Structure 1
Amino acid sequence: MSKLKVAVLVAAFSFPGALAAAGMDDLKLFLSQTKSAKSRFAQTVVARNGKTTQKASGTFVFQRPGKFRFVYEQPYAQVIVGDGQKLWTWDKDLNQVTVKPMTQALGATPAALLTGDGQLERNFVLKDAGESDGLAWVEATPKQQDAGFERVRIGFGAGQLRNMEVRDNFGQTTLIQFTSFESNPKLDTAEFHFTPPKGADVVGD
């Protein structure tokens, strides 16, 4: 397993448009208008008892459907690439690469919410989750019992996706904040290709 859970890595981007009153409206606008994006992110993991257990930060690029690249800069180096067919995770410290089929790795995950084909109702129950902290929220609950998490909350504000909160089956919550993001930039296709570094231990399919 990698140090960071793939299921919470992926994540989200801005879209053009006016402030919407409801989270579901913002989500629909995001899905219809945002085909690619790039951003910085900060991630915090909070245990059931409220104690912060991990902080991380980095950058990502995304192209829908199913292509993305996350580069974790702090507290350690890690690269996660979805090329549309396979999901590659490289732990630099261990020089280990884990590879899985995209269909197996994504499925009903938070990543699929924002980088998939937009047919969310197949795998999630969606509902407006009200407004708090100046954001309009959507809550997504996976239909699959073995999804590995209880729910995801996605927060939109001022026409942009701001936050994502993932609560897993152990009561742990991962909080992701997005900054300096750009909607629909021109991206180099090389961003979504991954070649294992020389000497790396490759595990998986």
Structure 2
Amino acid sequence: MDRLTKTSALLIFSAAIFAAPALAQNAPKQQPKAQTQPQTKQGPIVATTKSGLELDQKQLNSLERVTKFFNSTATLVGKFHQIGPDGSKTEGVFYMQRPGRVRFEYEEPSPIELIADGSSVAVRNRTLATQDIYPLSQTPLRFLLAEKIDLLKDSNVTSVFQDDLFVTIVIEEKSQIAGTHRLRMLFGAKDNQLKQWTITDPQGFDTTVSVYDLDAKTRPDPGLFKIDFTRYQQ
């Protein structure tokens, strides 16, 4: 499996895991546009992010609200829809159980699936019968699958924008496996629902992912998160 495919899979799945708890039950039909200009502070600085971004009270409230949504779901089952940099569209299913466990399966013709078992991450190619194993701690999944997360302290938030329609949060992360990447998320300012998120990879290409038909009550089969280290040879 080539490095670009592996890196893209890790980045896309990381974004989906982060976003899932706050999503509406149906994927958005239209993608809103993120605010791109720096937001003027509306009041005194009350907090600073890990990246050094200074926040006023309104921005801090937005960040804390997203953190609360993220920490509110321990298990989740659903479907995902992906639009790649070239406009290609793919779909699949996912299963999540925090802390540390997730499984994503693309529908055919894509052969890719990803499994995290709590300590390792496997990126499989079913067609080529290959499997690449990484320590969970060295992937973008490392804090996204944590039992609890504090976005102010645990992630590199570089931008927080808010207008009458959307709250936009941008996170930049660097990992040994995937390099430096950016995650941009848009939440509804009034309903607090995530409308879309976009991953920008180290080469500057964007991939947008949505999840839908979510079920936060069903507990996934633990067997879905088991990695067979003997099934495929690296």
Query: Could you say whether these structures have the same fold, taking a TM-score greater than 0.5 normalized by the shorter chain as the test?
Result: yes
Q: Which residue of 2 aligns with 1:28?
A: 67
CA contact (8 A) 1:43 1:176 kept: yes
- Once residues 22 and 217 of structure 2 are traced to their aligned partners in structure 1, the CA distance between those partners, rounded to angstroms, is 8
User: In the alignment, is residue 82 of structure 1 matched against residue 116 of structure 2?
Assistant: yes
SS at the partner of 2:69?
Answer: helix
Report the residue type matching 2:200 in the other structure. Answer: R
More helix by share: 2
Q: Which residue of 2 aligns with 1:49?
A: none
Q: Which residue of 2 aligns with 1:43?
A: 82
- Once residues 155 and 67 of structure 2 are traced to their aligned partners in structure 1, the CA distance between those partners, rounded to angstroms, is 16
SS at the partner of 1:154?
Answer: strand
- Once residues 149 and 101 of structure 1 are traced to their aligned partners in structure 2, the CA distance between those partners, rounded to angstroms, is 18
Deviation track 1:49-98 (CA, whole Å, cap 9, x = no partner) reads xxx25332111111122210001114412221000111111101101111
The 1:127–1:98 alpha-carbon spacing in structure 2 relative to 1, beyond 3 Å, is same
Deviation track 1:156-189 (CA, whole Å, cap 9, x = no partner) reads 3434434221112221011001111122532221
User: In the alignment, is residue 139 of structure 1 matched against residue 170 of structure 2?
Assistant: yes
SS at the partner of 1:115?
Answer: coil
User: In the alignment, is residue 125 of structure 1 matched against residue 129 of structure 2?
Assistant: no
Which ranges of structure 1 fall in alignment gaps of 5 or more residues? 47-51
The 1:156–1:75 alpha-carbon spacing in structure 2 relative to 1, beyond 3 Å, is farther
The 1:137–1:53 alpha-carbon spacing in structure 2 relative to 1, beyond 3 Å, is same
- Once residues 23 and 133 of structure 2 are traced to their aligned partners in structure 1, the CA distance between those partners, rounded to angstroms, is 34
Q: Which has the larger radius of gyration?
A: 2
Which ranges of structure 2 fall in alignment gaps of 5 or more residues? 25-58
User: In the alignment, is residue 149 of structure 1 matched against residue 153 of structure 2?
Assistant: no
The 1:85–1:135 alpha-carbon spacing in structure 2 relative to 1, beyond 3 Å, is same
Q: Which residue of 1 aligns with 2:104?
A: 70
**How is 1:1-205 mapped onto 2 (pairs within 5 angstroms)?**
1=1, 3-4=5-6, 5=8, 6-10=10-14, 11=16, 12-15=19-22, 23-46=62-85, 52-104=86-138, 106=139, 109=140, 111-112=141-142, 114-116=144-146, 117-120=148-151, 121-125=153-157, 127-131=159-163, 135-142=166-173, 148-157=179-188, 158-195=191-228, 198=231, 200=232, 202-203=233-234
More strand by share: 1
SS at the partner of 1:194?
Answer: coil
CA contact (8 A) 2:185 2:194 kept: yes
Count of aligned pairs = 188
CA contact (8 A) 1:14 1:182 kept: no
Report the residue type matching 1:182 in the other structure. Answer: D
